[in-house]
Structure 1
Amino acid sequence: MTSSVLSANYNTILFEFGVTLVSSKILYALLRKLYQPRVFSDLLLGILLAQFRILSVTNAINLVFAKLGPFVFAPYLFALGVEMDPFALLLDAAAADAVVAYAGILSTAALVAALHSAVVLPVTGIVHERSLRAFLGLAAVLANTASPVLTRLATDLKIAKTNVGRLAVGAGVTSDMVTTLLIALGSMVWRDGDADAVTSSADLAQPLLTGAALLAVAMSGFASRAMAEWVDGRNPEGRRMRGFDLSLVALAAAAMCWVVSALQLDFNMAAFMVGLAFPSEGRVSRLLVSKANFVLSSFVLPLYVAHVCLSLRQTTDDIEAAGVDPDSQVFRVYVMQLPFPWWKVFFATAMGTLGKVAGCAGVGLIKGLGWLEALALGMLLNVKGYFHIYCALAAFEAGIITDKSFMALIFMVALNVAVTPVVGMGIASWARRSVQWRLMGLQHHDPATELRLVVGLHGAQDVPTLAFLVDSLRSCGGGGLACYAVDMVQLTDQTAAAIVKGGGFDGVTVVDEEVSEMRKLIGEALDAYVSGDIKVRRLLALSSFQDMHGDMCICAEDAMAALILLPFHKTQCLDGTMDAAGLHYGFRLVNQKVLQLAPCSVGIMVDRGLGRLQNQQQNQTPVNVVVVFIGGADDREALTLAAFVCKHPGIRLTALRIVQSAAAQARARARTSLFESKSRRNILHLQAAAPNGGAAASNEELQAQADDKFFAEFYRKHVAGNKGAVGYLEKHVADGAELVSVLRGMQGDYRLFVVGKGRDRNSVLTEGLDEWAECLELGPVGDILASSDFSATASVLIVQQYDAKKHYKVIDDEFMPL
């Protein structure tokens, strides 16, 4: 009988835990579109559970966490400590982000000290206990920055690469480390919960215990470093980490936490101290952080936040004033509907925000930021998170704050986290508006200035061919060449759990094992294939497939790039066919959005082993490249790229011009006449119809004139004036079928086809080709060249020119430069 009851209880607990976790994930998926972090969805769900007391969830969660509560937050604090480097407090003390962090901490502490009388008032006060530990603890908690929440927000809002974003992420980590360390040290001083213990002379053993705890932490640091080195030696890079070794490290870390906590130190604070002593670099550390954060964010923390919110209570006086019996069912159902402490919420929010903004914004102004950017910096560093929820519960259980203040702090965290993404979006909009839009593309590039390229990489397999293209452009002019290699990493729950502060141009990075291995292979491939005289800067695009185009466009804007090069979403199989099975199909969505929204020209590279073959031949055999010119702005951009490439000694270029035959010209004239006649029939006033038809006709004529002029200049410079170094072919075709036939006849002679996408091309030669197209984003000609049945050896580069009409208000296309 007893076993059946326990079994029923276990089934109920598992069911209610499952409902809570699923509800949290659904709520997070909905709120994520508003850039709300996971902690806000967990808080919102917990508040709803506390308000309505759905089913018996309160009994299940509180029953479990009443036993595990003192230990459940320890893994979070341990992982947080592992991410941090305590030596940075000494080595980087004068860095800009450290100065900003210290200024925010000091200003918040000064404000709490100045308002100490209001802090203990019954209406607005936060603390119930008049003691030194209460005021210092409140100051440290309000000055703390939730660095994991901030790094994730910086990634989602695309501000990690801005000046404010990088400064905020760096200062957030420093602020989080310093304030959490102060709270941990405070827990050593007031280890028995007595506020006056520090002044008691009777407890002579307390200094000895504190010293012993610090010594144990130091010893755990030496032991953990030795164990990490031993495990790294057993699991070299490139080989999957053994689960037994990682479990052994986790058990050893737990044992160290237990030893430190045995010296009368809070177990959670002991976990943070041990994690801080743990080496922050290395494969073991990366795996521990990523695995622990993934499990915590997916399972533990939503349940923990629900437990905290279900612990919300009002004071007995408020219950009696409301006329509700504390033992009644009504109290258990409507406990959240009693008088709410709005003044406490407002006071805590205002005190924390003003303290952070005053110090951080002041230093930001001194460091050269504008006043809007400095204000945004302070607001970002004021973001709260899971640690603040833990501190509120710990203070409530210790009697430092009342239940009203407990509720006020929980709602303060929710309000703060909900508002912070708005600040981040404001920063992103300011950064975008500050960019002076101009014609960014190869055709408008000044050869005397540096040519900048943004190259997207899905993995190491994309490096050889894209590196060949970058190397072929290094002779483009006297300004040199700079390449921004962007590792395109999909943001999943697992990679999101491994986001930490980054270095250099990237504000954040990922310590996930698979991502780190991929980035390492990309770096090795870049070192092997890219010439030493090309400046290469490594970047990271960490986003979901729906948002990754934003990272690429922002990189191009920040770098003022003229061209974005992206790999095709399909890879070549062993039988020569093109298949997307090797890669996630979401990269096609990324390419489509980049083509639509890019601030410069874009090139899509369909790789059929070009770079690998050249590396095997050690560049002894010139590469035969053909550029196909039909007409239009995209073809002119492709011809410009070919003009840069032809200067490379290892490339033999041929320019193929497709010209309409007599039959095609007759069809074109008939189509123009038909268009003009339809326009006259559809418009009532004949006088107004004539200019419209003339404008359409004149636009085609202007495009044709621009094509003829541009190709004639190319021919003069590179064909006639270069002693035949660039070949020239001219083919007269009548329709799309003949065009395809001509291209198929050349596929065995050339290793690379360069074609324009043909967005604005209005030619009878490509009519009907897009009806059977599989990838419309490549254009009619590019889709044919990229298909599996075209060639097994010829790679293709599809070029799209930057469309200035996206960023300039244009009355008519005639006013746009050709």
Structure 2
Amino acid sequence: MDQAKRLLCTRDLWNPFNTTFVQTCGMLLVSQIFHVILKPLGQPGPVAQILAGLVLGPSLLCKIERVRQIFIQPAFEAYSFLLLFVFRILFMFSIGLEADLPYMSRNMKRIGVVAAWNLGVCGAFGAAASFFVIYLLKVASHRFAFAIIIMIIVASTASPVVVRLVAELRFDTADTGRLAISAALFIELFCIAWYSTYLAFSAGNMFGFALVCIVGTGIVAYANRFMAMWCNKRNRNMKFVPGTEMSAILLLVILLSFMIEKLGFNSMISCFLVGVAFPREGKTTRTLLHRLTYAVNNFILPIYFGFNGFRFDVNYLISVRNCIVVALVIVLGIGGKIIGTLCACHHLNIPRNDAVVLAFILNLKGHGELLVIEAFSRSDTWWDDNTHKLVIIIVVINTLIAGPVVSFILRRDAKYFAHKLTFLEFLDPEKELRFQLCVYESRHITSKLGLIASMTGSNRSPTVTYLLHLVELQKRHRRKKKLMYHQLQHQDGDQFSDDDEYGGNDIVEINDAVDAFTTDSKILVHQNKAVSYFPKVYEDVCSSAEDLRVSIVFLTFHKHQRLDGKLENDKDGMRIVNQKVLRHAPCSVGIFVDRGLTGFQLPSPELAQNVATLFFGGPDDREALACCKRIAMHPYVNLTIIRFLSSGQPKKKEVHDRNGEDEEQHISICSYEVDMAIDNVFMEDFCNRYVTSGKVKYVEKRTENGEQTVEILKEIGEMYSLFIVGKGGRGNSPMTTGMSDWEECPELGAVGDILASAELNLGASVLVIQQHRSATDGHEDNENPVLDDGD
């Protein structure tokens, strides 16, 4: 903080300020050039940003005297320290705000084991290496403090670097990526706490200061929660919270950090904890996430990584002694991470491929250890500049090694690390389910929230819910369709202006409905928005489902219910989107026919919902039944399984003269019999688990053909508020014979189309589910021709 004080009292403000501004602009420009060059090679952004700092720093351009005079001013250190300090506050608060607390609480044992093994092995390696490093660098005093620094450098992991790298590689939704982020946070916070404990024991009055820091952190966390609730109530009819109110919240965090640093402690843990304690619902949180995420990813972290590279000075590697120290610490750091992670993953039965990737991710450095050495360099005279530069070199080289290695492994083994839980049939109900719902307008949200509530009805069945708001790009903006959404908004004015036309008032109504639902149910809904014109909307849906690694996507039917109960067509193009998503989705797909006025609504003690699952057989019906495993756990949903069975055995058709047709018929019959056997096993398992315990009712209906099936549907039509059924894939089932002759919407399948048609005149909602079919398994969906979209 003394540097910041000198900065505020300096008489020569312009030159150092101008230097800092030129440096940041140069880093952003050069890092973008490197990113364009390295991205096709699979290299992440932090590598390009560190290289940009290397190019601008003393290793290259600053060797030129004229450039050095411009880039390195006398007060430059004070300006860069203050800038990086504020940046650290913002991105640590942002990391706390985005922390996946439910995942951490469920997997605390795994996270703790990985972090403990890494800290233990790397700490031991660092302690052993410290004796050799102390001898080489001829450290005469404060050897114990120096040994602690070496141990922290070897053991630490930079959580901001990990978060950024994993997100850029689209690995943050994978289980290994989430484990890496959580373990990195645990390791880094432990290292900073270890350093703070050392300070407390080294000075007698530090314990009192530590208590002040803890109390101050609690006060700011409580004040921010109160301000967030006040801002939410004050801005009811606005999409986002004004910048002044958001700045007031961030100002409290910054002032807390300055106080903690002034007392001699590190403020990063407090910033993270204040972010963790911040409420997860409401306009305030949404605004902070939008603005901080954009600022952190596009400005703060690139500049922060760039300054780390800028401080890299290759001249210090000319000495053989320095090279030995650097090589020793780097080798021990990598070796310690690999050994510690492999041991932890062996104990947790994590595959070796995942363990290797996890080890190199946890070897990323560039945050916690820099905070420690900067604190020592400011407070202790024994810490020399040569040692300071060597530590920075070690940190930069570690990241430059680990980043490309992780990227190379993920690209080489892309199939191994790809999302595998693309459908529900074999997913354990007690395992985490990730699903995404798509809405276009505010009238679609109520029923979707009811579906979310029914899918998350039990604490034993964890879920991660994503809500994707699909916004049609207006015709006058189609010339800009190749630009990113945030770029379009910047061209039209304020990025988060309340009068932008992307989504209109629907955004406010959707946000308010989600906030109220989250407050009442404590179910967190992650909201996203995709802006595109309709022929390309399906690409946004599919890419989002793939990036988020969801197992099922729920779409909105292209018709909505009028006040008289009839269905009428909605937006043009919605049907095309649904059909294209059915064909191209990387996971299972459900189409929800909403009859919210008379059909399915949010389950509650006052309004229990009666749901029926129609089971005819086949993979899609099994997927629908697997979906019902979650719904059956909701206390206010009465689920009934209605299985349709054929009155007689399927008859073989007459054999034709041509052998090809005979062979096809034989294969079809064999396939039907195999599906019947799988259906029986699946249904038996479901009944043993849910029906015998009384959670679900089971009914059998006998039918000979499609006409009798339709009559049964008419009889039970008014008994339920929601019907769940598979789209098709039943083979030559006699129970649906002839039902497709009057089919209006092939994307719903034969049974789903009947339930959604005006002929039955039902008041119930309908959910039609199609199980994911990969392009290589021979089950390409040919029953669903895509309409001509004129594209």
TM-score per shorter chain, which class? Answer: 0.5 to 0.7
* 1:418 paired to 2:404: yes
Compared with structure 1, are the counterparts of its residues 214 and 633 closer, same or farther at alpha carbon in structure 2 (3 Å cutoff)?
A: closer
* 1:114 paired to 2:128: yes
* Counterpart mapping for 1:178-257 below 5 A: 178-183=190-195, 207=203, 210=206, 213-214=209-210, 216-218=212-214, 220-221=216-217, 223-225=219-221, 227-228=223-224, 230-232=226-228, 234-235=230-231, 243-257=243-257
* 1:409 paired to 2:387: no
- Structure 1 residue 341: Cα displacement: 8.3
The whole-number CA distance in structure 1 between the counterparts of 2:317 and 2:351 is 49
Partner of 1:46: 53
Partner of 1:138: 150
Compared with structure 1, are the counterparts of its residues 423 and 727 closer, same or farther at alpha carbon in structure 2 (3 Å cutoff)?
A: same
Contact 1:129 1:401 in 2 (8 A): no
Question: Which runs of 5 or more structure 1 residues have no equivalent in the other structure?
Answer: 1-5, 190-197, 199-206, 322-338, 475-479, 495-512, 528-536, 557-563, 658-667, 677-689, 713-721, 734-739, 811-818
Contact 2:180 2:361 in 1 (8 A): yes
The whole-number CA distance in structure 1 between the counterparts of 2:151 and 2:401 is 19
Partner of 2:300: 300
- Structure 1 residue 783: Cα displacement: 8.4
1:304 partner letter: Y
- Structure 1 residue 758: Cα displacement: 4.6
Partner of 1:101: 115
Match of residue 663, structure 2, among 687, 695, 705:
695
Compared with structure 1, are the counterparts of its residues 568 and 301 closer, same or farther at alpha carbon in structure 2 (3 Å cutoff)?
A: same
Match of residue 28, structure 2, among 21, 30, 39:
21
Partner of 2:84: 73
1:112 partner letter: G
* 1:461 paired to 2:446: yes
TM-score norm. by structure 2 comes to 0.59
Compared with structure 1, are the counterparts of its residues 461 and 614 closer, same or farther at alpha carbon in structure 2 (3 Å cutoff)?
A: closer
Partner of 1:313: 313
- Structure 1 residue 8: Cα displacement: 14
Compared with structure 1, are the counterparts of its residues 222 and 453 closer, same or farther at alpha carbon in structure 2 (3 Å cutoff)?
A: closer
* 1:352 paired to 2:337: no
Residues 612-646 of structure 1: per-residue CA shift (max 9 Å, x gap): 469799779988x89798x987589889999x999
- Structure 1 residue 431: Cα displacement: 8.2
2:295 partner letter: V
Match of residue 271, structure 2, among 272, 275, 281:
275
Compared with structure 1, are the counterparts of its residues 254 and 698 closer, same or farther at alpha carbon in structure 2 (3 Å cutoff)?
A: closer
* 1:383 paired to 2:371: no
- Indicate the SS of the match to 2:465: strand
Compared with structure 1, are the counterparts of its residues 8 and 113 closer, same or farther at alpha carbon in structure 2 (3 Å cutoff)?
A: closer
- Indicate the SS of the match to 1:73: helix
The whole-number CA distance in structure 1 between the counterparts of 2:40 and 2:301 is 21
Contact 2:450 2:603 in 1 (8 A): no
Residues 481-532 of structure 1: per-residue CA shift (max 9 Å, x gap): 98654302569999xxxxxxxxxxxxxxxxxx999988765556769xxxxx
- Structure 1 residue 754: Cα displacement: 6.5
* Counterpart mapping for 1:589-600 below 5 A: 592-594=583-585, 596-597=586-587
Compared with structure 1, are the counterparts of its residues 584 and 250 closer, same or farther at alpha carbon in structure 2 (3 Å cutoff)?
A: farther
TM-score norm. by structure 1 comes to 0.57
Contact 1:766 1:780 in 2 (8 A): yes
> Aligned pair count?
659
- Structure 1 residue 410: Cα displacement: 1.5
The whole-number CA distance in structure 2 between the counterparts of 1:640 and 1:282 is 36
The whole-number CA distance in structure 2 between the counterparts of 1:787 and 1:385 is 61
The whole-number CA distance in structure 2 between the counterparts of 1:515 and 1:130 is 63
Contact 1:40 1:417 in 2 (8 A): yes
2:593 partner letter: V
Residues 382-415 of structure 1: per-residue CA shift (max 9 Å, x gap): 3324455667888899514275664453122221
Compared with structure 1, are the counterparts of its residues 154 and 214 closer, same or farther at alpha carbon in structure 2 (3 Å cutoff)?
A: same
Compared with structure 1, are the counterparts of its residues 604 and 62 closer, same or farther at alpha carbon in structure 2 (3 Å cutoff)?
A: farther
Residues 170-209 of structure 1: per-residue CA shift (max 9 Å, x gap): 43222111212344566889xxxxxxxx8xxxxxxxx477
- Indicate the SS of the match to 2:277: coil
Partner of 1:797: 767
Compared with structure 1, are the counterparts of its residues 637 and 167 closer, same or farther at alpha carbon in structure 2 (3 Å cutoff)?
A: closer
Partner of 1:607: 594
The whole-number CA distance in structure 2 between the counterparts of 1:52 and 1:546 is 44
The whole-number CA distance in structure 2 between the counterparts of 1:234 and 1:104 is 43
- Structure 1 residue 809: Cα displacement: 13
The whole-number CA distance in structure 2 between the counterparts of 1:361 and 1:469 is 40
- Structure 1 residue 146: Cα displacement: 1.9
Partner of 1:664: none
Contact 2:157 2:187 in 1 (8 A): yes
- Structure 1 residue 69: Cα displacement: 0.6
The whole-number CA distance in structure 1 between the counterparts of 2:513 and 2:267 is 31
- Structure 1 residue 71: Cα displacement: 1.1
Residues 424-476 of structure 1: per-residue CA shift (max 9 Å, x gap): 789997788999x9x9749xx9xxx98999573538634466379879xx9xx
Contact 2:114 2:345 in 1 (8 A): yes
Compared with structure 1, are the counterparts of its residues 652 and 759 closer, same or farther at alpha carbon in structure 2 (3 Å cutoff)?
A: closer
Contact 2:727 2:752 in 1 (8 A): yes
- Indicate the SS of the match to 1:487: strand
The whole-number CA distance in structure 2 between the counterparts of 1:21 and 1:317 is 27
Contact 2:455 2:631 in 1 (8 A): no
The whole-number CA distance in structure 1 between the counterparts of 2:193 and 2:113 is 17
Contact 1:632 1:760 in 2 (8 A): yes
Moved more, 210-219 or 347-356: 210-219
Contact 1:655 1:729 in 2 (8 A): no
Compared with structure 1, are the counterparts of its residues 730 and 619 closer, same or farther at alpha carbon in structure 2 (3 Å cutoff)?
A: farther
Contact 1:144 1:175 in 2 (8 A): yes
Question: Which runs of 5 or more structure 2 residues have no equivalent in the other structure?
Answer: 1-12, 379-383, 439-444, 470-483, 487-507, 530-539, 647-652, 681-696, 781-791
The structure with more radius of gyration? 1
The whole-number CA distance in structure 2 between the counterparts of 1:524 and 1:76 is 31
Moved more, 537-546 or 301-310: 537-546
- Structure 1 residue 605: Cα displacement: 2.5
The whole-number CA distance in structure 2 between the counterparts of 1:791 and 1:10 is 72
Compared with structure 1, are the counterparts of its residues 709 and 344 closer, same or farther at alpha carbon in structure 2 (3 Å cutoff)?
A: closer
Compared with structure 1, are the counterparts of its residues 706 and 645 closer, same or farther at alpha carbon in structure 2 (3 Å cutoff)?
A: farther
- Indicate the SS of the match to 1:145: coil
- Indicate the SS of the match to 1:798: strand
- Structure 1 residue 348: Cα displacement: 3.2
The whole-number CA distance in structure 1 between the counterparts of 2:631 and 2:583 is 26
Compared with structure 1, are the counterparts of its residues 569 and 99 closer, same or farther at alpha carbon in structure 2 (3 Å cutoff)?
A: same
- Indicate the SS of the match to 1:401: helix
